A and B are shown apart, each in its own frame.
Chain A
Amino acid sequence: MTADGQLTVGLAQVDSALGDRDRNLARHRQWVAQAVDAGVKLLVFPELSLTGYFLRDLVVDSALRLDGPAMKDLLSLSGDLDVVLGAVIEEPDHRYFNASLYLSRGELVHVHRKVYLPTYGMFDEQRYLASGDRFRSFKTSFGRAGILVCEDIWHLSSAYILSLEGVDMIICPSASPGRGLSTDERLGTAESYNLVCRTYAQFLTTFFLYCNRVGYEDGANFWGGSMVIGPNGDILAQEEDADEALVVATLDLGDVRRERLANPLLRDERVELTINELRRALHERTRKPY
């Protein structure tokens, strides 16, 4: 917790060069400098911000190792503020993960390996990537946080688990391609994400930071729309357009406590009942004779 209970967060709604880590790292440095100037203490980059999204076979060439030399440059980004960025990481056993790294004061604080890898429609992540095996929160200077990468939030249980870990903040780096035309002013994807992110913030009474990228890859447009949402579901700041932008909001961290006093959903949550019922449902689902 900061001394005054305030936290200025920034969402770096940026474009990435596909498969060009050096160029993207240089851009990260520029955005970090800009965020520092704006007084940002926590800066979030989109999913796979260091590499671009539709990598296909470039996954292998774009990957970095957490114990490798490239980490030094990444860690140096976090000298003056905490940074969340997206990278492909290669494990010593040569599995590749779509990962989001939380860096603070030159240290690696947390790694979230994306669990739900979309492999349908225009997505093909499981062809190239291994799936993470956990949802864990972690401590930051500003309270407890958890990271869910893009498709992770389309599974209710992921945010629910983080909520039970007592997070004050869910950070969602995303690379969501826009689609779904209608007469609306926004694409169908933008509408859905707004609904989902606000719902999580309100149901779980937590801050929700959604950082989506912009730009185009192979004809797909990333729609931006990055937003900071308060624990009552209100949007505190948003860049509705698909332009590169630094979205800045100052959070009053005490809002989480106040919201949970007014709306003690987390207190009343029946975790054991939920687990028992889930176990029963799973049992019944697997007991079918054929």
Chain B
Amino acid sequence: MNCGGPYMSAHASLTEPVFPPLAINPDLVRKILVRFIQNEVQKVGFERVVLGLSGGVDSSLVATLASQALGPTNVLAVIMPYKTSDPKSRRDALQVVQQLGIDQLQVDITPQIDAYFERFPDADQKRRGNKMARERMTILYDQSLVLRALVIGTSNKTELLLGYGTIYGDMASALNPVGDLYKTQVWQLADALGVPTAIVQKAPSADLWSGQSDETELGFAYRMVDQLLYYLVDRRYSREELARLGFEPAFVDDIIRRVRDNQYKRRLPVIAKLSSRTVDQEFRYPRDWGH
């Protein structure tokens, strides 16, 4: 893990000007995403969604969008702290719940996580973090069944591209309204939609323990990597062109490697091909089949 690398800078979600190509019209994006949620939920015969609300900006934004799309009583926010989570996260989550008037359920995941790791006391933070993410996922899918609610995801484009998430954990969902927004765009939209400023401005964190920081763990600031990802992914700049723009080649190579190495998280499991019509190869149907 590359901690405190050369691309660290003070976290500044709102205080610094937005990189112009990633500036959005929040009202237009809001409208598209609210309709997306309405459409993709209702056309498959559902009315409700359930999400894990961490008190961070991504899930607070999704809760806001879902509430606007489906009405607050059709959104269940599940708050699932572990004993080492920052207590402030829970308070932030509850503030969002209260502000939106959505339903909430609190499930402390400490007992089941600790029960498991009693057998593996030497497990490192990564194992524990993944386990927690997957524990939360099973709770969301359980509630999904109870409430006839779709699980709505909160992984943003930066996380999806960098693979900064747990496969079948926080990356699991039925629909994801923010997966094509970079983190810096999530901040803009969240701010415009009235997510509490303290939430938008606080340093992003997976919150496995108090004081954890995404940007420290990743080794660079979201503002910086979003610019690079924009040129690399959206505009398909070559390494040489990126160097000419002033991106450090070692940084570029690190990001290219991350994107490549995490491709598996963005796909179905690889299937050994035997027949002439294999799922996801020749058997190609839209997800919205018949809707």
Contacts and interface: CB of A to CB of B under 8 A. Distances in A.
A17 B32 CA distance: 19
A216 B40 contact: yes
Interface string A19-58: 1100000000000000000000000000000000011111
B289 A58 contact: yes
A187 B288 contact: no
B269 to A, nearest CB: 20
Contacts of A185: 25, 27-28
Given A17-B291, A57-B284, A58-B289, A183 B35 contact: no
Interface in B109-138: none
B45 interface: no
B3 to A, nearest CB: 32
Contact of B35 (A17, A58, A186, A221): A221
A182 B24 contact: yes
Interface residues of B, number: 25
Contacts of B284: 56-57
Interface residues of A, number: 24
A18 B286 contact: yes
Does more than half of chain A's interface fall in helix, strand or loop, or is it mixed? loop
B66 to A, nearest CB: 15
Interface in A86-140: none
A149 B175 CA distance: 31
A69 interface: no
A30 B36 CA distance: 24
A217 interface: yes
B283 A20 contact: no
A178 interface: yes
A178 B36 contact: no
Q: Which of A54, A57, A186, A242 is the most central at the interface, judged by chain B CB atoms within 10 Å of its CB?
A: A57
B39 A181 contact: no
Contact of A187 (B23, B27, B28): B28
A219 interface: yes
Given A178-B32, A242-B35, A218 B287 contact: yes
A230 interface: no
A218 B286 contact: yes
Interface in A61-77: none
Contacts of A56: 284-286
B291 A18 contact: yes
Nearest to A243: B35
Given A184-B25, A216-B36, A221-B35, A57 B290 contact: no
B193 interface: no
Contacts of B287: 218
B288 A181 contact: no
Contacts of B25: 181-185
B29 interface: yes
Contacts of B286: 18-19, 54-56, 58, 217-218
Contacts of A231: none
B259 to A, nearest CB: 18
A215 B25 CA distance: 20
A119 to B, nearest CB: 14
B35 A216 contact: yes
Given A56-B284, A219-B36, A221-B35, A19 B24 contact: no
Given A178-B32, A216-B39, A219-B36, A183 B289 contact: no
A217 B284 CA distance: 14
A181 to B, nearest CB: 5
Contact of B36 (A19, A181, A221): A221
B39 A215 contact: yes
A58 B29 contact: no
Contact of B285 (A58, A186, A242): A58
B290 A19 contact: yes
Interface of B: 21, 23-25, 27-29, 31-32, 35-36, 39-40, 43, 175, 185, 283-291
Interface of A: 17-20, 54-58, 178, 181-187, 215-219, 221, 242
Closest 5 CB pairs of A and B: A216-B39, A56-B284, A18-B288, A183-B23, A218-B287
8 contacts: A19-B290, A20-B290, A58-B286, A216-B40, A217-B286, A218-B288, A221-B35, A242-B31
